[in-house]
Amino acid sequence: MKISYKWLGELLDIPESPEEVGALLTATGLEVEGIEEVETIKGGLKGVVIGKVLTCEKHPDADKLSLTTVDIGAENILSIVCGAPNVAAGQMVVVAPIGATLYPTGSEQPLVMKKAKIRGALSEGMICAEDELGIGHSHEGILVLSTDLPVGTPAADYFGLQSDHVLEIGLTPNRADAASHVGVARDLRAVLQREIKLPSVDAFSVTATTLPIDVSVEEPEASPRYCGVTLTGLTVKESPKWLKERLEAIGVRPINNVVDVTNYVCHELGQPLHAFDAAKISSGKVVVKTLPEGTKFTTLDDQERTLSATDLMICDGDIPMCIAGVFGGKTSGVSSETTAIFLESAYFSPAWVRKTAQRFGLKTDASFRFERGTDPNLPVFALKRAALLLVELAGGTIASGVIDLYPNPIQDFQVPVSYKNVDRLIGKKLDRSLMHSILESLDIRIENQTDLGFLAVVPPYRVDVQREADVIEEILRIYGFDQVELSASMSSDFLSDFPLNDPDKLRLRCGELLVGNGFFEIINNSLTRPAGQDMLSDELLGEPVQILNYLSEDLSVMRQTMLFTGLETVAYNVNRKQSDLKLFEFGKTYHLVGEKYVEKTHLCLFMTGQKQAETWQGKSEELEFHDLSGAVQQVLATMRMRGVETEDCSSKIFQSAISYILHKKPIVQFGLVNPALTKKAGLKIPVWYADFDWDFLLKQYNAMVQFREVPRFPEVRRDLSLVLEKSISFDQVKKVANRTEKQLVKEVNVFDVFEGAALNGKKAYALSFLLQDSQQTLTEKVIDKTMQRLMAAFEKELGAIIRK
């Protein structure tokens, strides 16, 4: 929301700078997100002054140029070459001396005045035309002034230019009361203890009732208060300069004097208004009501809209003219031919306006205020304020008394407040008179005061102050949060504890890791068909959770595994020619174990198709087990899993797979999905699948990080080739190595595997060992002894043959 600093200054004495005002408002809770200087003319004519032409002679080398001397009140008289045909001695003119910057009309680039020579003559500035100053479009000649102002007077003073500053306030939804200049001024009044100067409406009077209009409200719940007045003899025209500048400063486009007045009052007081062309109210009667479902209505933006039976409308009898509190109609608005208007000011139900605005997707200045709650006591005052402005700016007369339909006045909120609770919540005992003064400056009356507390009577426009805590908050925000000293009683031990292992952060971290590796996240329904799960019933935990009133057989049970819903997603994409997939899903499985219901959280990965698209740089390759394994390893590394052991996985889910075990419990199973299961999902391609026990991973995650110094002594690599039985895995080799030499073996890696007829049904591993001692440099003697121990262990425990 934009607030004009100059406009505020008319409502309240503010010697403080815009920055100081911004800091004060932010401290009260109206956060100022930015302050921007707004100039009537770009650049504000800074450096441009009034001057007098002393002499004017024709340039000897150019017929259309003149040599002038100009007095601008400086120490030296300026020599300026001028090309205007109307320049003459004795004229008062506008001069841009060297160093001044102009923003000419229609030019995107500024013009900076520099010393120049024109046809051999010195020129120390420019005598300006309207377009060169940016104040008009005329370039027929220089601007000749009729003024008694002394030379050297800033041109901005002559033209009455005053820059404004606009404060951009990040208005929270609960502070509807501050959605106007008066609303913001109220907070400043409370902080600065100064009086607000509201505009006077004492001059409002009705000399003759020449245009009476009958008004009725058929939906009092939707429109608790509805007011109106008519004006005649209006001339619709362009608004005066001050009004256009005021609206443009806050980002409102001027239209004409009638519409501009309604916008001005809305942003001044916070009360939306609407003007109807009285000549277009053919029935002579304004009715506030709803219309039948499906009624068509064309709004100001030329859009035909279909009304609901719950949309409140302002009607000409039965003909809709305006969506109440939201948007006007195309046919009833003010035009250049309008001479009489019916001016509306109302309090509409926030709930009714909100539903209608959201249904049509319309967000207007009026709906913004009505759906948050306006002041039900303001419509008549705003109506009179606007009527007086229209009389002044459009030459009209007030042609009826104020119509005010308010059958059930909205009462003030009455909130009992205990001094004990004020002191407890603020954390500091405030002077009672100061407390009362703050509330009264916010229009909150103090009644029934006792030694224990008082009754706070809150005006209805403060829709956010209806509880004792709200009243205390009002006291504190004006008193100042910074003035409350932190004490032992206000320590943070009462705040909620934050877990060391935050599940949401860990999930986000893993998700970002997978996305960075080309995965896409999927979210599937937890309801599924029983057919697929029946194939794995002897492996899945417990029994399926049945849905009592299921919509279809496909949604009749809760999933016991995330495999089948994931395969359905894979099939959906493959059937649409998206066959290269890397997907992941965080989700839950549901189990009936005995009489208990169990939920388990999983992270599942699905991969199928090519590693990458084929390009001129290389051919595409099918995804393999090691691609899935790499992703699994990265997740485990992110979750800081150490000491993981490998086992073969014999699950029916997989054709071939392995499990990673920690503390004798599987944390992930991954491999190639059983073709019978992929076929069940309508897939004819291989799918790689990994299933993490996410709950177990979270429990094992250690947020504490230990650091150790990087060893100063070098590591040494030694290679070894072993011939082993095919049944012996690399993991077994690695375990033997680590068990045999715990101190020096830092890493074991296999870099080649060979199988062939020459090995008689066996296989050969080419292994590399990284050896390092953190205390000293390894000698050849120590290295040889270590390798001899490793080879002996391989021969003894694994039956290995050492290849030379």
DSSP conformational letter for 277:
E
Kindly provide the b/e burial profile for residues 570-606, where b requires at least 16 CB atoms within 10 angstroms of the residue's own CB: bbebbeeeeebbbbbbbbebbbbeeeeeeebbbbbbb
Q: CA geometry: angle at 221 spanning 217 and 227, to 5°?
A: 40
* Cα distance between residue 449 and residue 446, in whole Å: 7
Task: Please answer whether residues 84 and 69 qualify as being in contact, where contact means their C-beta atoms are separated by less than 8 angstroms.
Answer: no
Q: Residue 185 is inside which H or E element, if any?
A: helix 181-192
Whether residue 380 sits in one domain with residue 316 = yes
Q: Is residue 204 part of a domain?
A: no
The residue type found at 64 is K
Instruction: Please state whether beta strands 225-232 and 397-398 pair in parallel, antiparallel, or not at all (unpaired).
Output: antiparallel
pLDDT score for 495? 45
pLDDT score for 487? 57
Compute the radius of gyration of the chain from its Cα atoms. 41
Q: In this structure, what token pair is assigned to residue 586? A: 């965080």
What is the mean pLDDT of the segment spanning 322-349? 94
3-state helix, strand, coil in the chain (%, to 5): 30, 30, 40
* Cα distance between residue 468 and residue 465, in whole Å: 8
Q: Is residue 491 part of a domain?
A: no
Task: Please answer whether residues 653 and 677 qualify as being in contact, where contact means their C-beta atoms are separated by less than 8 angstroms.
Answer: yes
From its phi and psi, is residue 331 left (phi > 0), alpha (psi between -120 and 50) or beta?
alpha
In degrees and rounded to multiples of 5, residue 617 shows phi and psi of -85, -20
Say what the pTM is. Answer: 0.60
Whether residue 93 sits in one domain with residue 10 = no
Whether residue 332 sits in one domain with residue 243 = yes
For residue 241, the cross-strand partners are none
> Quick one: what percent of the chain has pLDDT higher than 70?
98
Whether residue 250 sits in one domain with residue 130 = no
| pLDDT digit string, tens, across residues 763-788 | 888 989 999 988 889 899 999 999 99
| pLDDT digit string, tens, across residues 687-703 | 999 999 999 999 988 77
Q: How many CB atoms lie within 10 A of CB 271?
A: 29
**Helices 257-269 and 181-192: crossing angle, nearest 10°?**
30
Domain count, the chain: 6
Short-list 541, 536, 530, 570, CA closest to 651 = 536
* Cα distance between residue 568 and residue 532, in whole Å: 11
* Pairwise pLDDT comparison (492 vs 241), residue with the higher score: 241
Residue positions in the annotated binding site for Mg(2+)?
464, 470, 473-474
The residue type found at 558 is M
* Cα distance between residue 787 and residue 485, in whole Å: 69
Whether residue 641 sits in one domain with residue 779 = no
| pLDDT digit string, tens, across residues 513-571 | 999 999 999 999 999 988 878 888 888 888 999 988 888 888 889 999 999 999 999 99
Residue 500: which pLDDT band, with cuts at 50, 70 and 90? low
Task: Please answer whether residues 26 and 169 qualify as being in contact, where contact means their C-beta atoms are separated by less than 8 angstroms.
Answer: no
pLDDT score for 493? 43
First to last CA, the chain: 82
> Quick one: what percent of the chain has pLDDT higher than 90?
69
Q: Is residue 73 part of a domain?
A: yes
CATH number of the structural domain spanning residue 460? 3.30.56.10
pLDDT score for 499? 58
Residue 37: which pLDDT band, with cuts at 50, 70 and 90? confident
What is the mean pLDDT of the segment spanning 1-9? 93
Whether residue 350 sits in one domain with residue 281 = yes
Whether residue 171 sits in one domain with residue 144 = no
What is the mean pLDDT of the segment spanning 80-106? 93
Q: Is residue 48 part of a domain?
A: yes
Q: What is the mean pLDDT of the chain?
A: 91
CA 416 from chain centre, in angstroms, equals 37
What is the mean pLDDT of the segment spanning 353-375? 93
Is the pLDDT confidence value at 490 over 80?
no
pLDDT score for 534? 82
Q: Is 787 exposed, middle or buried (0-12, 13-18, 19+ CB in 10 A)?
A: middle
| pLDDT digit string, tens, across residues 379-419 | 999 999 999 999 999 998 999 999 999 999 999 999 999 99
CATH number of the structural domain spanning residue 794? 3.30.70.380
CATH number of the structural domain spanning residue 510? 3.30.930.10
Instruction: Please state whether beta strands 66-71 and 78-82 pair in parallel, antiparallel, or not at all (unpaired).
Output: antiparallel
Q: Is residue 282 part of a domain?
A: yes
Domain residues for the domain of 755 are 716-803
Q: Is residue 201 part of a domain?
A: no
Alpha helices, DSSP H, located in 690-804: 694-700, 730-740, 780-798
What is the mean pLDDT of the segment spanning 37-50? 87
Is the pLDDT confidence value at 654 over 60?
yes
CATH number of the structural domain spanning residue 369? 3.50.40.10
| pLDDT digit string, tens, across residues 159-179 | 888 788 999 999 988 899 999
Q: How many CB atoms lie within 10 A of CB 104?
A: 18
CATH number of the structural domain spanning residue 114? 2.40.50.140
pLDDT score for 708? 77
Q: CA geometry: angle at 342 spanning 337 and 344, to 5°?
A: 130
Whether residue 336 sits in one domain with residue 298 = yes
Q: Which of 658, 675, 700 is the last residue of a domain?
A: 700
Is the pLDDT confidence value at 707 over 80?
no
pLDDT score for 162? 77
Q: Is residue 605 part of a domain?
A: yes
Whether residue 141 sits in one domain with residue 75 = yes
* Cα distance between residue 279 and residue 299, in whole Å: 18
Residue positions in the annotated binding site?
464, 470, 473-474
What is the mean pLDDT of the segment spanning 476-493? 71
Is the pLDDT confidence value at 686 over 70?
yes
Q: Is 505 exposed, middle or buried (0-12, 13-18, 19+ CB in 10 A)?
A: exposed
Q: Is residue 493 part of a domain?
A: no
Whether residue 372 sits in one domain with residue 248 = yes
pLDDT score for 80? 94
pLDDT score for 804? 60
Whether residue 655 sits in one domain with residue 692 = yes
Q: Which of 448, 481, 514 is the last residue of a domain?
A: 481
Q: How many CB atoms lie within 10 A of CB 738?
A: 13
For residue 598, the cross-strand partners are 591
Whether residue 794 sits in one domain with residue 645 = no
Q: In this structure, what token pair is assigned to residue 257? A: 């004097």
Task: Please answer whether residues 254 and 262 qualify as being in contact, where contact means their C-beta atoms are separated by less than 8 angstroms.
Answer: no
pLDDT score for 492? 41
Q: Which residues contact 355 (CB under 8 A, 6 or more apart)?
A: 310
Minimum mean pLDDT among 13-22, 130-139, 203-212, 563-572: which range? Answer: 130-139
| pLDDT digit string, tens, across residues 274-315 | 999 999 999 999 999 999 999 999 999 999 999 999 999 999
Q: Which residues contact 22 (CB under 8 A, 6 or more apart)?
A: 32, 35, 167
Q: Which of 375, 405, 435 is the last residue of a domain?
A: 405
What is the mean pLDDT of the segment spanning 631-640? 92
